[in-house]
Amino acid sequence: MKNRTTTPPWLIVAKRELMVQLTDKAFWIGTLTTIGLVALGFLFTSLWGPGNGEPSKIAVSSDEAAQIITVAQEQGLDVEALRVPDGEQVTAVENEDASAALTHEGEAGWTLTVLDAMDVQDLRPAVESHQMSANAAEHGLDIEELRAGTNLELVILSTEETQGVAILIATMGFAILFMMSAITYGMQIANSVVTEKESRIVEILAAAIPTRQLLIGKIVGNTILALAQVILIATAALVGLSMTEWSQFVGMIAPVAGWFALFFLVGFASLACLWAAAGAMATRHQDLSQTTTPLMMIIMLVYMSGFFAQGKAAEILSYVPIASTVSMPGRLLSGESTWVDALIALLLSVAFMAVAVWLGSKIYRRGLLQTGSVMSWKDALRKAA
């Protein structure tokens, strides 16, 4: 007699949740529309960013530096040379008369000094082309000699401001992604639960499989979908950013995006269980506005904290579960936190997830078969304790 392998009930539920969404046109329309909006956003930013409109003025004091600007113009960059006395190039940048200052440091190569890395386009190809031509005429065709002096060191006078731009871009993106996914998939879970409850299908499901298995399946299925969508959108954003003049930020943001994905996975799984509990507490779809309000408030507070929390408040929030999903990646990007801090915050989030699953499953089981009236959070927490 052959042994029959049985599929865990939660896996069946998870597969069903996945298939329902993957075969839904609205899901694909929403996902592709979001990616399209991200692409359009970077397109418009690129069109109206540096190098578009007024040419960027580069302060130079020598004919050789002016020749590099000419080469840059031939390469399609929207720049122009601003002649200043020798030694006053950086002063011109500080006074905002020029976007950047191009100076020659002898054998060390060239230096491009800017107030903000977003103020000027990349002059490295122009510097390399000019310097290699000069080296070729002087030293022949030896490749090492040709490359000598072609390095361009970028000195940013306002490092804090430049990092602030990258942090703002990343934090805004993380906060928006978290809010969109948490609300979209959270409400989807709550609606699914209350639909099953209102149609009384849940009574059949509860008789066939344990309610805990049903809950786990819903959490796993929707968490996979939410995480996959977040990764897809984040990847599209990084690709779009790499095609703009601010591509230097990609190397800063990409590693932090990985941490965001980990925090999002744990944070959303915690909220997913509570969203399911909120759905079980309702008796009709109209009741969801009442039972989901606390969760909406949590999500909005996390979203707002990503924009407004600073200093000590941001440091504290970076260790608070759910809030750390947005706050900790921003602190990693700014260098205020290390991977050790991120790991500690992630472990705290995992511990909170365990508590949320335990608490949510209790509320879910108690509210699932209650059809007489809406269960308040106060009653739900009291009964679950």
Residue 225, CA distances (Å) to 15, 295, 323 in order: 11, 20, 21
Which of these three, 157, 176, 191, is where a domain ends? 157
Give the CATH number of the domain where residue 118 resides.
3.40.50
For the segment 172-209, what is each residue's pLDDT rounded down to a tens digit? 778 888 888 888 888 888 888 888 887 778 777 777 78
Task: Clarify whether residues 64 and 179 are in a common domain.
Answer: no
Residue 2: per-residue pLDDT: 47
Phi, psi dihedrals of residue 155, rounded to the nearest 5°: -110, 120
Task: Clarify whether residues 192 and 209 are in a common domain.
Answer: yes
Across the chain, what does the average pLDDT equal?
Answer: 79
pLDDT interval class at 359 (50, 70, 90): confident
Task: Clarify whether residues 192 and 308 are in a common domain.
Answer: yes
Task: Give 15: exposed, middle or buried? Use CB within 10 Å, 0-12, 13-18, 19+.
Answer: middle
Q: Are strands 79-83 and 56-60 parallel, antiparallel or unpaired?
A: parallel
Q: Is residue 353 part of a domain?
A: yes
Give the rounded percent of residues in the chain with a pLDDT score beyond 70.
Answer: 82
Q: Is residue 30 part of a domain?
A: no
Q: Identify the weakest region by mean pLDDT among 142-146, 294-298, 307-311, 364-368.
A: 142-146
Answer yes or no: is pLDDT of 45 > 70. no
Task: Clarify whether residues 207 and 336 are in a common domain.
Answer: yes
Residue 265: per-residue pLDDT: 92
Number of other residues whose CB lies within 10 A of the CB of residue 371: 13
In 3D space, the residue among 330, 377, 336 whose CA is nearest the CA of residue 166 turns out to be: 330
Average pLDDT over residues 258-278: 90
Average pLDDT over residues 233-239: 84
> Sheet containing 152-156: which strands, arranged edge to edge?
79-83, 56-60, 100-104, 110-114, 152-156
Residue 340: per-residue pLDDT: 92
State pTM to two decimals.
Answer: 0.66
Which of these three, 157, 178, 198, is where a domain ends? 157
Average pLDDT over residues 100-106: 82
Residue 327: per-residue pLDDT: 86
Task: Clarify whether residues 196 and 145 are in a common domain.
Answer: no
Task: Clarify whether residues 276 and 175 are in a common domain.
Answer: yes
Task: Clarify whether residues 84 and 183 are in a common domain.
Answer: no
Q: Identify the weakest region by mean pLDDT among 15-19, 148-152, 287-291.
A: 148-152
Average pLDDT over residues 55-84: 84
Answer yes or no: is pLDDT of 131 > 80. no
Task: Clarify whether residues 120 and 196 are in a common domain.
Answer: no
Q: Is residue 28 part of a domain?
A: no
In single-letter form, the type of residue at position 281 comes to: M
Q: Is residue 48 part of a domain?
A: no
Task: Clarify whether residues 166 and 151 are in a common domain.
Answer: no
DSSP 179-202: HHHHHHHHHHHHHHHHHHHHTTHH
Answer yes or no: is pLDDT of 67 > 70. yes
Q: What's the chain's length in residues? A: 385
Answer yes or no: is pLDDT of 10 > 80. yes
Task: Clarify whether residues 123 and 258 are in a common domain.
Answer: no
Q: Identify the weakest region by mean pLDDT among 162-176, 265-279, 335-349.
A: 162-176
Domain interval for residue 95: 56-157
Q: Identify the weakest region by mean pLDDT among 32-41, 215-224, 320-329.
A: 32-41
Q: Is residue 71 part of a domain?
A: yes
For the segment 155-181, what is each residue's pLDDT rounded down to a tens digit? 555 555 555 666 777 777 788 888 888
Task: Clarify whether residues 218 and 70 are in a common domain.
Answer: no
Residue 266: per-residue pLDDT: 92
Q: Is residue 2 part of a domain?
A: no
Which of these three, 133, 157, 181, is where a domain ends? 157
Domain count, the chain: 2
Task: Clarify whether residues 203 and 292 are in a common domain.
Answer: yes
Average pLDDT over residues 366-378: 77
Q: Is residue 38 part of a domain?
A: no
HEC per residue, 284-306: CHHHHHHHCHHHHHHHHHHHHHH
Residue 343: per-residue pLDDT: 93
Answer yes or no: is pLDDT of 1 > 50. no
Q: What are the structure tokens assigned to 188, written together? A: 């989807």
Q: Is residue 79 part of a domain?
A: yes
In 3D space, the residue among 145, 156, 126, 121 whose CA is nearest the CA of residue 64 turns out to be: 126
Cα 268–Cα 276–Cα 309 angle in degrees, nearest 5: 35
